[in-house]
Every structure is written in structure tokens, then in C-alpha cells.
A and B are shown apart, each in its own frame.
Chain A
Amino acid sequence: MSTPAPAATAAAIDLVYRTESRAVLATLIRLLGSFDLAEEALHEAFRAALEQWPRDGMPANPRAWLVSAGRFKAIDGIRRQARFSPLDLDLHDAGVDGPDAIDDAALEDDRLRLVFTCCHPALALDAQVALTLREVCGLTTEEVAAAFLTAAPTLAQRIVRAKAKIRDAGIPYEVPAPAQLPERLHSVLRVIYLVFNEGYGASAGDQLTRHDLSAEAIRLGRLLVALLPDPEAIGLLALMLLHDSRRAARSTADGELVLLDAQDRALWNRAQIAEGVALVERALAQRQAGPYTVQAAIGALHAQSATPEATDWTQIVGLYDVLLRMEPSPVIALNRAVAVAMRDGAEAGLQALDAVLESGELSGYRLAHAARADLCRRLGRRDEARAAYARALELTRQGPERRFLERRLAELEAGTGAAVDPAAFRSTNG
């Protein structure tokens, strides 16, 4: 070699761990046919790296080296444990120094296999989420448990059961066939969005946003788009970036809620907005816009408005009409009603809102009551506003939101309080 191998310092190895361990794990799962074996093999591989790389220098392809090492150690371990030699194991290229057919393309496919397997619809949704965060994102069981306000042993059991189901029911480690891909992708996107929402507007507890989870979801979204540039995957990434761009403006220093129209737009992350807008355009250009893309387009319109007054509510209502045709859900109809209020005034908005509330499906949805409360307040219908705020308060589990609603209620009692844009409540969609 004409140039010396780069220094394999502890920091360099740590960097390799942070950037490569997930991909290595994904390939080891395929080669070894088991999540648990693969995890052990990953640990063994890095132990070997810590021993050998300081001595021999960083390998040219650390990923391939780690995969080889992991597989070798695992097979070695299996051979020593087995009473008879497992005839189906291919031991020929198990050597660490042997030529390896593991190329980067195959490794990327393995990451996709891992994502689709963890998000398989045959697993319970909470199991999909836990497994994805653990295996694809590399969070520890404790970190996942903390993020979801669950006890660690409960979370651990959930993951154990999910792996058992994968094994016992024969969930294969594969990327779905093209015919099944759209529906299976929907499953993956749902998991990613759920993780994002959990981080964005924490459903319980006192922190308004748990941005670690949002960042994780965005990372997952980027991975998915890099591996599978499907328009809806692009749309979801755009949607997450656009929502996340408002993170700094969404709460005060004390952690209190700041609604969209009251946010300091100078605090919005322009880089994320630019990226999000570009992604929306890329997704729309593929002419297969789905619900995430349309929601992202709505987000882009907000993000591009210099002031709340400049918001193009007519286009937004139009986009909600499109979205409603794709996904006739009451929550989307609610959001549309709120946009109608902004375009046509509170009276029209209230009519649209009440039409949605009639079905009764949103009676347990706090944001529906909060929106009604606000429209009634704008129309001077104080008794109705009071009742709706009270109902919303009964349903909210989150500190900042609760305090916001309490303040509104107090303002109502005192006869004060400015009109506010109900669309500023970011309604979660499923």
C-alpha cells in the first residue's frame, strides 16, 4: 500500500460504530437468520475491531470487515455449540481475510429488508414501533421505553414477543414484491410518522416536544428516501421537516404552547423549510401524490408565508379537499373546517365544523372541542365556548396544552383575549 492505513483511534472506531453498526446488523440478520444471533455477532465484531484495528489500522471497507468478523464469530460459536455440524451453513467464506462478496448495494438492500420486517403488519403496531426504534435506529430498550413513557421490562417483553412472532410465524426477511410494496410501504410510513408525532407533540407528560424521537423519525425518513425514493416516502419526509422547522417557535422558554399565528417566524428553521419545500416539489412532480405529500404541501404553504396574514387559505382549503378525497377521515375534515374558518370567517367555519362533529366520531378528540371553543369565542358565543374549552380540558393529557386551554378559559371569563387561529393547533392525523 502506498498510503498508510488511517489511524484507528477510539474516536474513529466510535464513529464507525455510529455510522455503520445499523447496516452491519441488517446484513448479519440476513446471513445468520436471527435477530439475537446478529446482535451478538455485532458485539463480537466490534470487540474484534477494538482489538485489531489499533494494531493493523482501519480496514479499507470497515462495513465489510465487520460483517465478515461477525459472521465468522457467530458460525464459530454455533459450531462449538452444535452436537453435529450444521450442514447448511456455508463456512467457505467465513474467514475474516477471505474475499467477500458483500458489496455496498447488498448492504443497503439489507437495511431495507430490516425496515420492512420490523414494520410488518402482522406485528402489533406498538411492536412495530418498538422493534424499529431498537433494531433500525439502534436505540437501547431503555431509551425506547423512556421515549414512550413505558416501563423498560414491558418494552423489553414487547420486543421479545415481536421477535418470537417473526420467528414462529415465519415472517421472512425480505423487501416486499412490487405488487405488495405500496401497502407494505404504508405500514412503514405509519410507523415513522407515529414516532415523529410522539416526539413532536408528546401525548402525555409535561414536555411539549420530545425532539429526540422527532429527529429519529426524520433520520428514518431520510434512510427510507435514500433506499426507496417513493413519492409518499418523500412526502412524509417533507412533512416531518416542515413541522420540525417550527420546533423552536412552538413553545416559550417556560415550555408553554405558542400557536402557529403567534409564533415568531424568525425562529423557524429556514434550512429545514427549504429542504421540505424542495422535497414536496419532488414528490408532486412524480404525479402520484398521496396523503403525506398533500399534507406536506399544506405545511409548505404555511412555511412559505412570511406572516400569518399572508397565508394562502384558499389554496390550503383546496388541498384539504384533495386530502379528504384520498382519506375521508373526520380529523382531516376537522382541519379543513378550521381552514374554511380562516378563508371564509368563523361562521362558515363553525358550520363546517359542526357538520363533522355531528357524526360523533370526534367526541373524544380534544382538538375538535378546542377548535369549536375558539370559533365560538370569535363569534361571541361565550357559553358554548366555555363548554367546549371545558370538554377539551377534560380530554387533554399534556401539561402545556392544558395550561393553554385553562388560560383561554380564564380569558373568556374575564372577557379578554385576542382572536386566535384554530388551525394553529396541529391536529395529529392518525
Chain B
Amino acid sequence: MKYLCLVYGEEEKIATMDDHDCLAVDAALRGSGHCIASEALQPVATATTVRVRNGRLAISDGPFAETREALAGFYLIEARDLNEAIQLAAKIPPAQVGCVEVRPIRPIREQPRSGLAAQAAAE
């Protein structure tokens, strides 16, 4: 199963961490075949939020919501089940000062929902 591990933390705390620790974990995850993709992110100050309403593009500075813990990076991993995904996520260094959200991927290509079906299902 694929999971997205979203790495969150207070930016000042994450900034004090040694990148080499993160790189070592990343290398291990890639080497074991668990990691499909992974990246660190620039700080939230560099973020831009895009919304389209009524055909009009609205752009704003910053993340979609101001939060104490900000998104710092991600790992897209392949794991046997949630227990394995949790064990892998726990190795990510920022988990010690922040947290890692582990979310299963929805198989949208294999099972695409049409909007109307979703509405009917909700009734």
C-alpha cells in the first residue's frame, strides 16, 4: 500500500536539525525500496496559495492556513500495511520534534469517482 508521510514541525525546531540525519534516513528508505519519492520543502514564507473561484484566479502569499507546525517535507512510501508505514515514519528525524502524518493513498486512477456517484452514495 502507498502512504504519504507528511512531515510537520515548528520551523525553528526543524531548522536546528542536521540535514545529514534526514539524508541518511532517506537513503535507507530508498535503498530498501520503500521510498517512491521524497523532498524537503522551503519554509512556509516561500509558499504561495492558489484558488480559482468562478473562473477567477486568486493568489495569496503564504500557506493555505497558518499553523504552529508547518509542512516541512514529505515521503511517498510503499509499505506492507499501516504498521510498517508507522515504523518507517517513526524513523524520520523531525518526528522527534514535530510529527509525521501518515495518510493512505486513494487509488484514484484504478477507482475514479464521478461527482454524481459520490453524491448518490452520500444520500
Contact = CB atoms under 8 A, between A and B. Distances in A.
Interface centre among A168, A169, A170, A174 (most CB of B within 10 A): A170
Interface string A156-182: 000000000000111110101000100
Interface in A119-136: 122
A172 B81 contact: yes
Interface string B77-91: 001111101110000
Contacts of A168: 104
B23 interface: no
B40 interface: no
Q: Is the interface of A mostly helix, strand, loop or mixed?
A: loop
A180 B87 CA distance: 9
Interface in B80-123: 80-83, 85-87, 104
Interface in A177-210: 180
Contacts, number: 23
A174 B84 CA distance: 12
B104 A176 contact: no
Contacts of B79: 170
A226 B97 CA distance: 39
A172 B83 contact: yes
Contacts of B104: 168-170
A168 B82 CA distance: 10
B82 A176 contact: no
Nearest to B1: A170
A172 B87 CA distance: 13
A174 B83 contact: yes
Nearest to A177: B83
Interface string A391-410: 00000000000000000000
B71 to A, nearest CB: 20
Contacts of A172: 80-83
A174 B80 CA distance: 12
A169 B5 CA distance: 13
Contacts of A170: 1, 3, 79, 81-82, 85, 104
Nearest to A184: B83
Contacts of B85: 170
A35 B104 CA distance: 20
A309 B44 CA distance: 65
23 contacts: A122-B82, A122-B86, A168-B104, A169-B82, A169-B104, A170-B1, A170-B3, A170-B79, A170-B81, A170-B82, A170-B85, A170-B104, A171-B81, A171-B82, A171-B83, A172-B80, A172-B81, A172-B82, A172-B83, A174-B83, A176-B83, A180-B83, A180-B87
Interface of B: 1, 3, 79-83, 85-87, 104
